[in-house]
Chain A
Amino acid sequence: MAGRMSLARRNLLQEKTRMALSVGGVALAVMLTLVLNAFLSGMNRQITSYLDHSPGSLVVAQEDVVNLLGATSLLPGGIMSQVEAVRSVDEAIPILSQFVILDLHGKKQPAYMVGYDPDEGGGPWELFAGRQPRTKREMVFDQVLAERHGLKIGDEVEVLGKDFTIVGLSDGTTSWMTSFFFLQKAAAENLLLSPGSTSFLLLTTSEGADLESTLQRLNNLPGVNALTKQEMAVNDLKLFAQVFSTPLKLMVSIAFLVGTMVVGLVIYTATVERQREYGVLKAIGARNGVLYQVVLVQALAASLTGSLAGVLLAYGVAQWIMAVRPQFLIVFDPSDAVWALLSGLGMALLAALFPARVVAGLAPAEIFRR
């Protein structure tokens, strides 16, 4: 065993350029796979960020509305008191939300406006700087979006034709698609020309309450749809997954394929170039299994070294991307590194298939032919 390991290692190291190409190809493929996956995780975290941090465990939306970000919701008038009267409902926090397009220094910027009552909640969960809005002319702006556009506390931002002064900068409310900004609910009502209207109610239930039966009671109310925050978050994720996940997963698959092909081609070429030597080994008594091991060990060494390099590269690239473009959240899960190594293993196994066929097809008697 040691002899074939040594042969595989020496074969690899003898062609340093080829080894570097192979490792580099896998490293790039793994890096791309990891970064895209982590980007998808980051995007998912951004999508559910508001629901993850807002108070309560249930959400009441307009009838047939199941998304926070993907739909406009307008609850029937007077529904608040009916909801609060439902058994097990401790608190109902109203918010008025809407997608809007901001004009920031001549650039159109989609953003998600949340109108909330600072005394009740439903606003920014973490302030990077400043305070909550105290008047209808004040706002809390996402700090990353503010930084990208050179905005700071005290600056004014025009929303739907009205100017608001930034009094606070929120953290964790960034998204590369639509960052959040927060106004008083009354200010949002004015902007949308819909006094007293509410998009969603964030419900806190009493301790030990059965959520299922509470939801049933809420859904008996006219014109509303009640669901858990988790359900709504999942719905939002599904909605955005339809748009982004498929192309991202396609890119991940392509990256895996490219990595496999790079290792496969390099090991295949190396095997074909050395097929006379493999023929010699076969002639002097090496079984096919031994030669497969030599080929596989080469593919494994190149793939796993490349995968490790890819993991390191991915972390470096992610840090660089988030420093240069803070609106992109790239979230690595420790299990991603394990998956990267497993995908490297997969690449090696696939990449060794064709070279193994070359080796298996060698006729030992050919060694005497010149």
Chain B
Amino acid sequence: MKKDLADVPGRLAPTSTLEVDHVTKRYGSGDTEVAAVREVSLSVAAGEIVLIMGPSGSGKTTLLSMLGALLKPSAGEIRLNGEVISAMRENHLPDIRLRKFGFIFQDFNLLSALSALENVAIVAELAGIKRSAARKAAAILLTNLGLGDRLNFLPEKLSGGEKQRVAIARALINDPALILADEPTANLDSKIGHEIMRLLRQIAKKQGRSVVIVSHDQRIKDIADRVLWLEDGQFKDMVTMATDPVCGMTVELDNEIKIEWEGQLFYFCAKGCRDEFFSHPEQFSSRSVQPVKG
């Protein structure tokens, strides 16, 4: 039987704040220079869930990588609990990533040769916890995530939802202050996706951890405290956004690709979606196209 995550002893993370101050990331130089993220500022409080959305190529992944100390910004500062992590030397960053952050990936990214238990325990061992203690902590965490009977299963024997729960356990094992999740529900069906969302909310609200999620999944907005829209490397106001009724992508209201159907305006990400809408308007017109709130 699953326990609440907050029931796990020692699972209350310290209060933490992530601050992103005018961060820019540029690739290339001269004529080929591209700014993937431009002058982005953001503050994430302890226990807050921030969802970052945006079209492909908007800089979400680059921003997430910089938040997780995987990538250094070209300009600006990133602070975790007041400590400037963006200026740290490269050899200090592995420890920061190991102890301060928990990563959750779209493709789960479990180590295929290790069991569920070992996938979680190895992260604790990397942080210097003894093998037996690491395995015990991993077993407790996995059991509380409903995987008590899957501890010795290899990833290939687990369902998508189970793999993501293992990934969540791996992200939590070292008691991080901040969880960074990249499309955590993308490869999961609706039911499991909701389950993962519920877990992420628990992690934030009952354990006091900050959670930053990058996703296209509109459902995650339901659990987010704040939704930010990143486009062309900058945050934009979400009030001006609408949902493409065909593909579900969020699009700007001043988008040129729009039509009026039975007295209602529909916005599309591309002409292809608009054409598809035209072929079966009755199939799509019932879908909500209300502007999303920020």
Contact = CB atoms under 8 A, between A and B. Distances in A.
Interface of A: 1-4, 6-7, 10-11, 13-14, 274, 276-277, 280-287, 290, 363-365, 367-370
A282 B64 CA distance: 16
A287 B112 CA distance: 20
Interface residues of B, number: 33
A4 B68 CA distance: 23
B162 interface: no
Given A2-B125, A284-B170, A368-B182, A14 B112 contact: yes
A282 B71 CA distance: 12
Given A364-B70, A370-B107, 9 more contacts: A4-B122, A4-B125, A6-B122, A10-B113, A13-B113, A281-B126, A282-B94, A284-B123, A285-B123
B60 to A, nearest CB: 9
A284 B64 CA distance: 14
A11 B123 CA distance: 17
A280 B111 contact: yes
B19 interface: no
Contacts of A369: 61
| Interface residue SS majority, chain B | helix
Given A285-B99, A287-B94, A367 B105 contact: yes
21 contacts: A1-B125, A2-B125, A3-B125, A4-B122, A4-B125, A7-B114, A7-B118, A13-B113, A14-B113, A280-B109, A284-B103, A284-B170, A285-B94, A285-B98, A285-B126, A364-B70, A365-B65, A365-B70, A365-B71, A368-B70, A370-B106
A3 B121 contact: yes
Given A285-B95, A285-B126, A6 B114 contact: yes
A272 B141 CA distance: 32
Interface in B136-194: 170, 182
A290 B109 contact: no
B226 to A, nearest CB: 21
B107 A277 contact: no
| Interface residue SS majority, chain A | helix
B70 A10 contact: no
Contacts of B94: 282, 285-287
B97 interface: yes
Closest 5 A/B residue pairs (Cβ): A285-B98, A3-B125, A10-B113, A365-B65, A285-B97
Nearest to A280: B109
Contact of A367 (B109, B122, B125): B109
A367 B110 CA distance: 12
Given A283-B103, A367-B70, A370-B106, A3 B64 contact: no
B71 to A, nearest CB: 4
Contact of A3 (B91, B99, B131): B131
Contacts of B123: 284-285
Contacts of B107: 370
